[in-house]
Amino acid sequence: QVQLVESGGGSVQAGGSLRLSCVASGFTRSTYSMAWFRQAPGKEREGVALIRSDDTTRDGESMTDRFTISQDKARRTLYLQMNSLKSEDTAMYYCAAAQTHFDVDVFAERNWRFWGQGTQVAVSS
């Protein structure tokens, strides 16, 4: 069973930065995809970005040039560097994983079998 543990959220002022981390354990295959989603209050969860085991990435509708997705394969850790944060970035951020690559509806939640508990990001203006 894959387990995902997020960290790095917190409360920051607008213009600040945070780096979210997601440590994965339990992968049984070398092929995987990992992603960040976020859910703002009163809104549906939406994809931010994904990265695959071959280091290819895809941007979700929430992605912005203020954010960077990366991974440390040796540590099986996924990162989301968030700079110049805005109040509209306030949300619960979730890490998700799948032990495959897919190219259709990549941010559809049905494709993501494993989810973390989330880490809260609150940006005050």
How confident is the model over 34-44, as pLDDT tens digits? 999 999 999 99
pLDDT-derived band at 52 (thresholds 50, 70, 90) equals: very high
CB-based contact 94:45 (threshold 8 Å): yes
CA dihedral 92, 9, 18, 57 (to 10 degrees): -50
- Rg (C-alpha) for the chain, rounded Å, is 14
Q: Is the CB of residue 33 less than 8 Å from the CB of residue 102? A: yes
